[in-house]
Structure 1
Amino acid sequence: MRMERYSRQILFTPIGEEGQRKLAEKHVLIIGLGTLGTQSAEMLTRAGVGKLTIVDRDYIEWSNLQRQQLYTEEDAKNRTPKAIAAAKRLRSINSEIEIVSHVVDVTPEELENLVIEVDLILDATDNFDIRMMINDMAIKQQIPWIFGSCVGSYGMSFTIIPHETPCLHCLLETVPIGGPTCDTAGIISPAASQVVVHQTTEALKILTENEQHLRGKLISFDLWTNQVVQMNVASMKKADCPSCGSEATYPYLSFDEQMKTAILCGRQSVQIRPPKKQERDLGELAVQLKKTGGKVETNPFLLSYTIGDERMVIFKDGRALIHGTNDIDKARTLYHRYFS
């Protein structure tokens, strides 16, 4: 390791040479390589983390280039998988560190293999199904992880230390549904960057073993309306939480709590069924989807949505049909993009 490369970081007293050496020994897993994941990956690569494992199931589209800073127009033209393009770019930034990339859809089985010998997990996903899996696996394996989320000009972050802080299940109790996404409400790049600032700063504290300086609070902000809130959530830790309580069962790692997918024979369609029956407000969803410029049609039982060549139908119980494909990964991506 060339210490002069990190000289300005080493001059920062809380890190110093000892902290830099510790950082070089650590392994970070980043799940999701969209706006949050690309920026976090680049920051940690430049900072000199020893090993970085990056994971994403998707490929690069033109709409990604506005804010996902590791990618180029050539990547969008070629529809290069995000994990492949990101790894290539990161290796060109810092050839001294180890970069491992995976083009996979994260499931509990995949996650169990990904977390081996990992010191920290960064959440850069776009849906709470995967976040709850991360939460349960991190608690089970006693790995710190940092939650991050943003949409529009709003963002939030919270650092979860197993058995010390509340976990995501404590804070949410059930998976939230029906909220806006970047594809229905848009996003400005500074909001994502602000989330990344909070996530990567907390990451550096953990990786250099300066945990005493962790924020310990959930932070949320709206850059457009100039609002910032730091909430002390310590009292929300639940002794009987199924994910982090004294008799934890890690429910989101079980089959019953996972999203179910099935290819419909002869119909070139994939059915997606959420883990539990839901009551979706189709009227509210229609309002969000109309902002995208797609065609929205509703009746008392379902909503039909068409944008470009993509056609999807969602029912009031949360079940959806993604038409025109037998690719389950693509169907899940579209579901989370528009209906999550």
Structure 2
Amino acid sequence: MEERYSRQMRFAPIGEEGQRKLSQSAVCIVGMGALGTVLASHMVRAGVGLVRFVDRDYVEMSNLQRQMLYDEDDVASGYPKAVAAEKKLRRINSDVRLEAVVADVTAHNAEELLEGIDLVLDGTDNFQTRYLLNDVCFKLGIPFAYGGAVSARGMSAMFVPGSTPCLRCLIPAADSGGETCDTVGVIAPVVDIVASYQAAEALKYLVGAHEKRRRSLVTFDLWDNHYFEMKLGQPVPDCPCCGRKEYPALNPKEQDEMISLCGRGSVQIAGKGPLDLERWRQRLEPAAVKIKANPYLLRAELPEGERLVLFPDGRVLVQGTDDFARARTLYARYIGL
């Protein structure tokens, strides 16, 4: 340990005692895209004892511009991001315990996924999932390091149950105006800065340097050179999460079974149960134009022009449309309802 973490331990606010605390800590990163890959690298290199990461997607060529753990071989293999990330991270630090989970975080599984976790790091790209993480973290009393990046803009804040307001207090209803990385783009340096803010606050919390935590929401525009800091203030008494403790995102809704992946031209259907990928390869092969499969997912190009991506946990992506009716039609045609 002395050699690997020597420069980190020479930083007086961490030292030997802080390093010991890190080695006994457990974090969960939700989303292993641009933010998540940088966060995971920081946590693993810093020697956090357990790093669990959850992601529902797989590596594509457009990811490589900013998602630092992946390369062209990962694209060719079609591996899920969580699996590809685990392979890289194990080569970085074999002392850290890694848990890669290929799944969609939902109201049904969020509490289970955060079992035994000391801190949650936000690597997501949509407010629906962020509100879910916010609600489950405040219900369970787990700190939530929020971060977001799009275009040349970034923002970050650390929400700690019992100490700060929650995300809903600051942003009661999110409307991005349709701006996502897939619609207006993003430059990689913004991602690095946001994830570094998150990682630094995570380290402060995990080593017990609570007096050094930043109690503000930071927003910046790296291209136009703007920077703004807003104090977090006090929790809103009528907040449905930290005020009334209703945790609305943890109440599953029927419409959550089908969601549009904003800007991706894809609809995700939760499905009704596990899928045997080999069985489905055999079933879809006669009808599909082309099929590619690995142990983690199956991709079937359809004669209609769209693509189905099947996951063992039952999820199906219908790629090539963001229309729910069209997605449901194709799902029913090839998978069945």
Q: Structure 2-normalised TM-score? A: 0.78
Offset of residue 232 of structure 1: 1.1
**Alignment partner, residue 30 of structure 1:** 29
Q: What's the counterpart of residue 244 of structure 1?
A: 242
Identity of aligned residues (%): 46
Q: Equivalent residue of 2:53, what SS?
A: strand
- Distance of aligned partners of 1:25 and 1:320 in 2 relative to their CA distance in 1, 3 Å threshold: farther
Distance 1:234 1:325, change over 3 A: farther
Equivalent position of 1:213 in the other structure: 212
Partner residue of 2:289? none
Q: Are positions 1:39 and 2:18 aligned together?
A: no
Counterpart residue identity of residue 241, structure 2: S
What secondary structure is seen at the aligned counterpart in 1 of 2:125? coil
Gaps of 5+ in 1: 263-268, 273-306, 328-340
> What is the CA-CA distance between 1:174 and the residue it aligns to?
2.1
Match of 2:168, SS state, is helix
C-alpha distance in 2, partners of 1:24/1:320?
Answer: 49
Of 257, 261, 264, which aligns to 2:258?
261
What is the rounded CA distance, in whole Å, between the counterparts of 1:5 and 1:106 in structure 2? 33
Equivalent in 321, 330, 333 of residue 312 of structure 1: 321
Deviation, 1:110, is 1.6
TM-score (normalised: structure 1): 0.78
Give 1:38 deviation, angstroms: 0.3
Q: Give the Cα–Cα distance (whole angstroms) in 1 for the partners of residues 81 and 135 of structure 2.
A: 25
Alpha-carbon spacing, 1:320–1:69, altered in 2? closer, same or farther (3 Å): farther
Q: Secondary structure at the match of 1:312?
A: coil
**Alpha-carbon separation, structure 2, partners of 1:162 and 1:220:** 22
Cα RMSD (Å):
2.4
Q: Is the 8 A contact 2:267 2:322 kept in 1?
A: no
Contact kept in structure 2, 1:147 and 1:159, CA below 8 Å: yes
Correspondences of 1:63-74 after superposition (within 5 Å): 63-74=62-73
Q: How far, CA to CA, are the matches of 2:174 and 2:98 in structure 1?
A: 32
Q: Give the count of matched residue pairs.
A: 282
Letter in 1 for 2:232: V
Aligned to 1:297: none
The runs of at least 4 aligned residues of structure 1 exceeding 4 Å deviation read: 269-272, 307-310
Q: Which ranges in structure 2 are unaligned for 5 or more consecutive residues?
A: 260-265, 270-304, 308-318, 333-337
2:331 is aligned with 1:326: yes
- Do 1:37 and 1:124's aligned partners in 2 also have CA atoms closer than 8 Å? yes
Residue correspondence of structure 1 range 77-96 to structure 2 within 5 A: 77-96=76-95
Offset, 1:271 = 8.4
The answer to whether structure 1 residue 158 and structure 2 residue 157 are counterparts is yes
Distance 1:201 1:34 in 2: 19
Q: How far did 1:322 drift?
A: 3.6
Q: For residues 55 and 271 of structure 1, what CA distance do their matches in structure 2 show?
A: 16
Q: Is contact 1:30–1:37 with CA below 8 Å preserved after alignment?
A: yes
Q: Verify: 1:60 aligned to 2:36, yes or no.
A: no
